[in-house]
Amino acid sequence: MTEHICTSSCTHGISAESKKDVTEEFDTARRSFIRNAFVGGGAVSLGAMGVSMSPMSYASTGTSSNTVDADAPGPMHYYIPATPETVLWGYFSKIAKPVVEIESGDFVTIETLTHHANDDAERMVKGDPGAESIFHWDAQRKGVDRRGAGPMDAAIGAGGGAGVHICTGPVRIQGAQPGDILEVRIADVAPRPSGNPDFKGKSFGSNAAAWWGFHYGDMLTEPKKREVVTIYEVDARGERNWAKAVYNYRWTPQTDPFGVVHPTIDYPGVPVDHRTISKRDNILRDIRIPIRPHFGTIGVAPAEADIVNSIPPSYTGGNIDNWRIGKGAKLYFPVAVEGAMFSVGDPHASQGDSELCGTAIECSLTGTFQFILHKKADLLGTALAELNYPLLETQDDWVLHGFSYANYLAELGPNAQEDIYSKSSVDKALRDAYRKMRHFLMTTQQLDEDEAISLMSVAVDFGITQVVDGNWGVHAILKKSMFPARGRS
The pLDDT tens digits for 436-451 are 999 999 999 999 999 9
Mean pLDDT score, 328-338: 98
Are 326 and 439 in a shared domain?
no
Whole-angstrom distance, CA of residue 255 vs CA of residue 24: 36
Q: For a pLDDT cut of 70, what percent of the chain falls above it?
A: 84
Residue 382 lies in a domain: no
pLDDT attached to residue 71: 56
| Count of all residues that appear for the chain in the document | 489
Q: How confident is the model at residue 58 (pLDDT cuts 50, 70, 90)?
A: low
Are 36 and 156 in a shared domain?
yes
Are 368 and 405 in a shared domain?
no
Whole-angstrom distance, CA of residue 147 vs CA of residue 166: 9
Domain with residue 445: its CATH number is 3.10.28.20
Q: For a pLDDT cut of 90, what percent of the chain falls above it?
A: 82
Helices (H), 86-202: 121-124, 129-135
Are 306 and 408 in a shared domain?
no
Q: How confident is the model at residue 24 (pLDDT cuts 50, 70, 90)?
A: low
Are 338 and 437 in a shared domain?
no
Whole-angstrom distance, CA of residue 351 vs CA of residue 292: 7
> How many structural domains compose the chain?
2
Is there a contact between 245 and 232 (Cβ–Cβ < 8 Å)?
yes
Whole-angstrom distance, CA of residue 300 vs CA of residue 93: 9
pLDDT attached to residue 320: 98
| Residue 427 lies in domain | 396-486
Last residue of a domain, one of 338, 372, 406: 372
- 12 vs 27, residue with greater confidence: 27
Are 353 and 456 in a shared domain?
no
Are 318 and 427 in a shared domain?
no
Are 337 and 434 in a shared domain?
no
Among 393, 349, 463, 373, CA closest to 175: 373
Residue 412 lies in a domain: yes
Mean pLDDT score, 281-287: 97
pLDDT attached to residue 74: 83
Domain with residue 361: its CATH number is 2.60.120.580
Q: Is the pLDDT of residue 84 over 80?
A: yes
Q: Is 442 helix (H, G, I), strand (E, B) or coil?
A: helix
Q: Is 18 helix (H, G, I), strand (E, B) or coil?
A: helix
Is there a contact between 323 and 292 (Cβ–Cβ < 8 Å)?
yes
Q: How confident is the model at residue 72 (pLDDT cuts 50, 70, 90)?
A: low
Last residue of a domain, one of 356, 372, 388: 372
Mean pLDDT score, 191-211: 97
Mean pLDDT score, 347-352: 98
Are 452 and 319 in a shared domain?
no
Task: Please tell me the number of Cα atoms within 13 Å of 320 on its side-chain side.
Answer: 29
Q: Chain-wide mean pLDDT for the chain?
A: 88
Residue 285 lies in a domain: no
Q: Is the pLDDT of residue 54 over 90?
A: no
Whole-angstrom distance, CA of residue 402 vs CA of residue 355: 16
Backbone angles phi, psi at 17, to 5 degrees: -65, -40
Whole-angstrom distance, CA of residue 339 vs CA of residue 98: 9
Q: Is the pLDDT of residue 226 over 70?
A: yes
User: What residues are paired with 329 via a beta bridge?
Assistant: none
Mean pLDDT score, 349-362: 98
Strands (E), 181-306: 181-191, 202-209, 228-235, 242-250, 254-255, 261-262, 280-281, 289-290, 294-300
User: What residues are paired with 354 via a beta bridge?
Assistant: 466
pLDDT attached to residue 381: 87
Backbone angles phi, psi at 299, to 5 degrees: 165, -170
Residue 271 lies in a domain: no
pLDDT attached to residue 80: 98
Residue 380 lies in a domain: no
Q: How confident is the model at residue 35 (pLDDT cuts 50, 70, 90)?
A: very low
Residue 178 lies in a domain: yes
Are 365 and 409 in a shared domain?
no
Are 337 and 400 in a shared domain?
no
Whole-angstrom distance, CA of residue 167 vs CA of residue 99: 12
Mean pLDDT score, 458-485: 96
Q: Is the pLDDT of residue 78 over 60?
A: yes
* Ranges 70-74, 258-262, 281-285: which has the least confidence: 70-74
Residue 282 lies in a domain: no
Q: From residue 417, give the alpha-carbon distance in Å to each of 228, 340, 354, 407, 421.
A: 27, 21, 21, 11, 8
pLDDT attached to residue 383: 87
Q: Is the pLDDT of residue 60 over 80?
A: no
Last residue of a domain, one of 322, 340, 372: 372
Whole-angstrom distance, CA of residue 338 vs CA of residue 441: 30
Are 365 and 406 in a shared domain?
no
In this predicted model, what pLDDT tens digit does every residue of 106-135 receive, in sequence order? 999 999 999 999 999 999 999 999 999 999
Q: Is the pLDDT of residue 43 over 70?
A: no
Residue 205 lies in a domain: no
Q: Is the pLDDT of residue 64 over 50?
A: no
pLDDT attached to residue 23: 46
